[in-house]
């Protein structure tokens, strides 16, 4: 189901515009709910720990309220698929089944974090599972395009997925990437999490003309929009898209309407800034992915409140253990950034940097050492 006229302004004024979620296999719905609930508890606990202890020194952008996309990708993506994320990265990281302890250790700047404690939240990656993120607005989109092009050239079976907010669509790089992807028929899925805000600015004050997915459709037919907090409907749509892309590689753009309950940055809700009010936040809390799926499962008698309490208890235990692990871990000693993600692949670059520092060597000597 697609809803071309639905936007944040209309939905907040009239909740009847929120489409009813579909029914799918109960086991899949439970998987979606459990992952979303896990992510919610992890993010809320990290937000709780962020300021008082002041041990997480990196900027953090929580995805509270935007759990639906990672929950779906956790099921539909395979290890061979590549996933690229924006700065609101924790859900995407976990969706590729990357280890929670390494995520938390990274936020605490510890050496056993996923990137040796030097990437922090915004640039976190886990190359073993083909997951990468980036802090620069729309920056990951360009890298994802290159990855998808490599997959096509090498005739690899996996696909590339890149997640970003609607504010990335303010950037020229996004439109260059869209043009190139549709021109070259690349195996890439663009997922736009439209949460209405670029930092503190609403979409209607930044973007003129027709809606994003309609603009993208001028490049190719594979561009649609969906209400992003109905996880069953979202799963059905993304699963269908991915299956089709695996059979016949092509680009696809999916705009999802969702909402960021947490503030833009850190654990606050931004009410003191004035770009939104508590009534708006409460509305979207009621219609967030976690609450909507939980209510649906209870109504269908697919889960009991006792089961929910047990699930929550286990996830609280898991995040507490991860935080304790991070706190007990050591800070990095040797800040060798070249070995964090790429290992031996950057040995040539290290040689070049080292040689450039030594101006006493002749050009011919440098060529011999480098190898060309």
pLDDT of residue 360: 44
pLDDT at 300 over 90: yes
Q: What is the pLDDT of residues 302-326, one digit of tens each?
A: 999 999 999 999 999 999 999 999 9
pLDDT level of residue 359 (50, 70, 90 thresholds): very low
Q: Using the predicted structure, report yes or no on whether residue 2 has a pLDDT greater than 90.
A: no
pTM over 0.75: yes
Average pLDDT, the chain: 89
pLDDT at 34: 98
Can you read off the two tokens belonging to residue 221? Answer: 């037919």
CA pair distance 311, 323, nearest whole angstrom: 19
Percent share of the chain, pLDDT over 70? 87
Q: For residue 50, give the H/E element and its range.
A: helix 26-50
* Mean pLDDT for the stretch of residues 264-286: 90
Residues 242, 226: Cα–Cα separation, whole Å: 16
The pLDDT tens digits for 101-132 are 999 999 999 999 999 998 999 999 999 999 99
Our CA dihedral for 175, 248, 217, 257, rounded to 10 degrees, sits at -90
Confidence of residue 337 (pLDDT cuts 50, 70, 90): low
């Amino acid at each position: 189901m697609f809803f071309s006229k639905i936007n944040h302004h209309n939905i907040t004024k009239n909740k009847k515009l929120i489409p009813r979620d579909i029914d799918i296999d109960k086991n899949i719905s439970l998987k979606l709910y459990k992952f979303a609930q896990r992510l919610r508890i992890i993010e809320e606990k990290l937000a709780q720990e962020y300021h008082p202890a002041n041990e997480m020194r990196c900027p953090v952008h929580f995805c509270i309220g935007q759990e639906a996309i990672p929950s779906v990708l956790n099921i539909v993506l395979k290890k061979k698929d590549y996933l690229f994320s924006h700065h609101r990265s924790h859900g995407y990281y976990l969706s590729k089944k990357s280890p929670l302890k390494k995520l938390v250790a990274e936020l605490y700047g510890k050496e056993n974090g996923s990137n040796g404690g030097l990437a922090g939240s915004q640039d976190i990656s886990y190359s073993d599972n083909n997951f990468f993120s980036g802090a620069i607005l729309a920056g990951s989109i360009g890298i994802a395009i290159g990855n998808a092009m490599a997959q096509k050239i090498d005739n690899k079976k996996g696909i590339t997925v890149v997640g970003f907010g609607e504010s990335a669509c303010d950037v020229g790089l996004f439109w260059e990437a869209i043009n190139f992807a549709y021109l070259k028929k690349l195996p890439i899925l663009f997922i736009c999490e439209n949460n209405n805000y670029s930092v503190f600015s609403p979409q209607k004050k930044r973007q003129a003309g027709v809606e994003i997915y309609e603009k993208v459709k001028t490049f190719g037919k594979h561009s649609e929009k969906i209400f992003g907090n109905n996880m069953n409907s979202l799963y059905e749509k993304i699963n269908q898209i991915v299956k089709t892309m695996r059979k016949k590689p092509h680009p696809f753009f999916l705009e999802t309407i969702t909402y960021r309950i947490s503030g833009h940055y850190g654990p606050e809700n931004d009410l003191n800034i004035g770009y939104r009010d508590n009534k708006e936040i409460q509305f979207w809390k009621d219609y967030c992915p976690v609450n909507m799926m939980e209510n649906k499962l209870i109504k269908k008698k697919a889960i009991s409140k006792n089961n929910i309490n047990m699930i929550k208890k286990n996830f609280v235990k898991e995040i507490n253990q991860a935080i304790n692990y991070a706190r007990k871990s050591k800070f990095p000693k040797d800040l060798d950034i070249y070995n964090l993600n790429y290992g031996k692949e950057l040995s040539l670059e290290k040689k070049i940097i080292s040689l450039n520092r030594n101006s006493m060597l002749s050009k011919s000597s440098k060529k011999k050492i480098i190898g060309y």
